[in-house]
Structure 1
Amino acid sequence: MTGPKGHERVSLDSIDLFDPHRYRTHPQHLDWATLRAQAPVWRQERPGRPAFWNVTRYDAVRAMIKDTGSYSSTHGNVLDVAEGGDSAGGYTMPLMDPPSHGWLRGPSIRTMSTLVVRRREEDIRARLRRMLEPCYDGGVVDIAGIMLHLPMLAVGEILGIPESVWPDIPAWTMSGVAPEDPVYSAGTTERTLRKAHYQLFAMFSEVIADRRRNPKDDLISVLVGLDFGGRGLDDHEVLLNCYSMVMGANTTTPYVASHLVAAMAERPEAWRLVRADPRLASSCVEEALRWATPTNHLMRKTTRDVEIEGVKIGEGEIVCAWLASANRDEQYFDDPYEFKPDRKPNPHMAFSIGPHYCIGGPAARAVLNVMVEELAADFEAFEPAGEVEHLASNFINGLTRLPVRPRLAPGAGARS
């Protein structure tokens, strides 16, 4: 999360935004700051492999993501599939363009609305308290490991995932997005992906078959009964969309939570500010979303010749919008490398923007707000207690290890 010191910059030929292992050890924010200042539309060459363009300023990132006519999602939205394209392209919501994107998004988003999530708030709060129980023992805990289970508390039932497999979901999903990370690798990248896909697909196949017989009030039932442009989705299409949605939930929200705790451990004065004014919980969550920006980038493929910041890019080119860079753009955020729980305005794009705005945003905000409220009520500080480890991924800004010692406030204790 380290940013540049003053006007510190690096040489352009030292920048590599593709290598997933670089994200474990190298502070990419210095590289993104260099690109915003010197080459806001920059082409990274890869010997023997296709080059790709990188867009790093807020305005250009925003305009690009909103322009679904010039920048298609069907080739894939992550750099790892830039060369051959995503096999799910055109079949899942994130990998669709209008109008088919709207046919799927409209009915699906209603199951993830703010109202739906609020109805479950007390249940979410009770589950979250149980999840946080290790923090009350007075010892060192790995917050990154605990927070991996946060998304299922908010959307497990909404999605229709059996509670019996909730504990397994984090490993299955993270193996799918970071197969080269030592925590999740099962050998080769291919073997890791195959294993993760098999486990998730097997689970979802059973649930889909059940929902075709016995529809329920969940997203899988909505997908099974969906009118997709005058036809229904077949089992394979439902399966791919289930996979996409659980991946979206489980590879983002936990890392906003972990990065928030890491920031509070490093900046105890900011945490004291939040604890002193419970009304700051919401703005603290928004700042955590900006600060973490759990999805580093969104990839697109041009459908026509385009021009970005005066740079001409041809049809059929790979272009990457770096959300993580846009959310540190000095033109939009004062002191962008400072965590300010009371930051306003805060026009971050952590959930993307436009037609592809994350449908899980309301659920993520709800569970993160409950988490901040619960932590602020009982813990006066989080003391760093060991080395922090980052995820080997150019796509997800994750933490695989965050040891802290939570310090209880006087009179606080675990609640049932």
Structure 2
Amino acid sequence: MRLREVQPAATPLDEIDLFPAEWYQSGDPHAAWRTLRETRPVWRQETPEGVPFWSVTRYQDVVAVLRDTARFSSEYSTMLTVLGDGDTARGKAIHLMDPPRHGAVRSSAIPALSMRAMRRHEDAIRKRIRELLVTAVERGRCDFAEAMTVLPMVVSGAVLGVPEREWVETAKWTVASMAPDDPAYTVGDPRSTLLEAHVYLFSMFSELVEARRAEPADDLVSQLVAMRIDGRPATDEEVLVNCYAVIMGANPTIPQAAAHLVLVLADRPDLWRRLREEPALVGPVVEETLRWSSPVNHLLRRAAEEVRLGDETVPAGGLVVAWLGSANRDEQVFTDPFRYDPDRASNPHVAFGYGAHRCVGNSTAQLGLQILLEEMIATVGTIEIDGEVSHLRSNFLNGVTRLPVSMTEVPVVNG
């Protein structure tokens, strides 16, 4: 979706449908979310197949739902596009397990994805990001979204244990598995796209798991191979679905947030100049970019019992959707929320979710965006949009698939 620094007009309630993927590509979800926050903070509707779901759009309600793992379970699905009988990895993958079992997998993943662990790889990550940017600047004009496709693997590939030869395909197929309707990723049709994505990713991880069982290394796959669940060693299936879950969590945030940041900087050359003059602004810009872009639109939960939410009663088994993108524009929490403002005194965004299931890869994304921005400051002089921008067709990810830009080098200052 195109993000703008203006407060959107209200959307009539009878025109609101939060399900269609194409609407997020060309419509204005923020206008609908604003209307719902103001008038119907708990909103019931149905999918095209007639499955009801209840949406929460206010910050406090989103936080309350995500925090309450006893009443709002993750052990079904986390995406509106995966309904029916639920996700096949439910109860096995880190994002599809409730506490306390969820803690066993999370504790196995955290050491490899902590900021401390990521810092060990910082020099190598920085070198590769610099190479990506130098190549883009030397071309003068490039598709920034395409150039940054491999960025998440540049940041996390070695940490996860994915061989470099697989980085480009891994990055592509993880996004395809979350946005199979988008023309940039569809292979034949959405079902075929999902199948091809899953075959590639699970085949690649199967080989890695087999290799790490024979010879452990200092990476996340090795730590998942060694984890214990319910007091016993994890099975190959449990290791595989958690490798898949982590890669799905690691890949979307960085390139999508980076693309939305470039759109802001192209629109706000004053901010770009200021950022290049004030390196201390990098951290706040990273956090504001995460709030502003909200790369993951929503997280799905299933009511474990009948629950009263606002004026609605959600039955046991009812599906509740927490809209992170809406929460990050809540006027009750963020002053002037439709303005991109890195000077916010407080920025408690929920771009990584909230509570027990807050994204375990948040340090990976934060460090990756920080390094990218620092290297852009050192490499890029000016940024201009140079063509039509295309946005991702997905109700789950807020992404950019095409971002043509013209970039110049940082001018050389003679002593």
TM over 0.5: yes
State the match for 1:19 in structure 2. 20
With normalisation by structure 2, the TM-score equals 0.96
Shift of 1:141: 0.9
- What letter corresponds to residue 319 of structure 1 in structure 2? V
Is the 8 Å Cα contact of residues 307 and 313 (structure 1) preserved in structure 2? Answer: yes
- Structure 2 distance, partners of 1:394, 1:12, is 19
- Structure 2 distance, partners of 1:342, 1:374, is 21
With normalisation by structure 1, the TM-score equals 0.96
State the match for 2:312 in structure 1. 311
- What letter corresponds to residue 219 of structure 1 in structure 2? L
State the match for 1:107 in structure 2. 108
Matched, 1:322 2:342: no
Map Cα deviations across residues 239-284 of structure 1 (whole Å, 9 max, x no partner). 1111111111112221011111111111111212211100000100
State the match for 1:348 in structure 2. 349
- What letter corresponds to residue 363 of structure 1 in structure 2? T
State the match for 1:276 in structure 2. 277
Shift of 1:335: 1.5
Shift of 1:5: 5.6
Is the 8 Å Cα contact of residues 390 and 399 (structure 1) preserved in structure 2? Answer: yes
- Structure 1 distance, partners of 2:352, 2:164, is 26
Matched, 1:250 2:251: yes
Label 1:48 to 1:369 Cα distance change in 2 as closer, same or farther (>3 A). closer
Matched, 1:331 2:329: no
State the match for 2:293 in structure 1. 292
| Superposition map of 1:192-271 within 5 A | 192-271=193-272
State the match for 1:123 in structure 2. 124
Shift of 1:118: 1.0
Q: Secondary structure at 1:85's aligned position in 2?
A: coil
Label 1:36 to 1:103 Cα distance change in 2 as closer, same or farther (>3 A). same
Is the 8 Å Cα contact of residues 4 and 33 (structure 1) preserved in structure 2? Answer: no
Is the 8 Å Cα contact of residues 73 and 300 (structure 1) preserved in structure 2? Answer: yes
Is the 8 Å Cα contact of residues 3 and 30 (structure 1) preserved in structure 2? Answer: no
Shift of 1:84: 2.6
Q: Percent identity?
A: 44
Which stretches in structure 2 are left out of the alignment for 5+ residues? none
Map Cα deviations across residues 155-197 of structure 1 (whole Å, 9 max, x no partner). 1111111111112112211221111110100012111111111
Matched, 1:150 2:151: yes
Is the 8 Å Cα contact of residues 138 and 407 (structure 1) preserved in structure 2? Answer: no
Is the 8 Å Cα contact of residues 296 and 322 (structure 1) preserved in structure 2? Answer: yes
Q: Secondary structure at 1:330's aligned position in 2?
A: coil
Q: Secondary structure at 1:334's aligned position in 2?
A: coil
State the match for 1:132 in structure 2. 133
- What letter corresponds to residue 38 of structure 2 in structure 1? A
- What letter corresponds to residue 234 of structure 1 in structure 2? T
- What letter corresponds to residue 229 of structure 2 in structure 1? F
- What letter corresponds to residue 86 of structure 1 in structure 2? D
Shift of 1:82: 2.5
- What letter corresponds to residue 241 of structure 2 in structure 1? L
- Structure 2 distance, partners of 1:126, 1:4, is 34
- Between 1:91-100 and 1:4-13, the stretch displaced more is 4-13
Which stretches in structure 1 are left out of the alignment for 5+ residues? none
Is the 8 Å Cα contact of residues 281 and 369 (structure 1) preserved in structure 2? Answer: yes
- Structure 1 distance, partners of 2:379, 2:48, is 53
Is the 8 Å Cα contact of residues 82 and 318 (structure 1) preserved in structure 2? Answer: no
Structure 1 runs of 4+ aligned residues shifted over 6 Å read none
Q: Secondary structure at 1:132's aligned position in 2?
A: helix
Label 1:138 to 1:221 Cα distance change in 2 as closer, same or farther (>3 A). closer
Alignment length, in residue pairs?
412
Is the 8 Å Cα contact of residues 19 and 47 (structure 2) preserved in structure 1? Answer: no
Label 1:70 to 1:142 Cα distance change in 2 as closer, same or farther (>3 A). same
- Between 1:117-126 and 1:70-79, the stretch displaced more is 117-126
- Structure 2 distance, partners of 1:318, 1:72, is 10
Shift of 1:25: 0.6
- Structure 2 distance, partners of 1:105, 1:352, is 15
Q: CA RMSD in A?
A: 1.5
- What letter corresponds to residue 314 of structure 2 in structure 1? I
- Structure 2 distance, partners of 1:4, 1:339, is 7
- What letter corresponds to residue 15 of structure 1 in structure 2? I
Shift of 1:289: 0.3
- Between 1:177-186 and 1:148-157, the stretch displaced more is 148-157
Map Cα deviations across residues 295-334 of structure 1 (whole Å, 9 max, x no partner). 0000000001212234322211000000000000011111
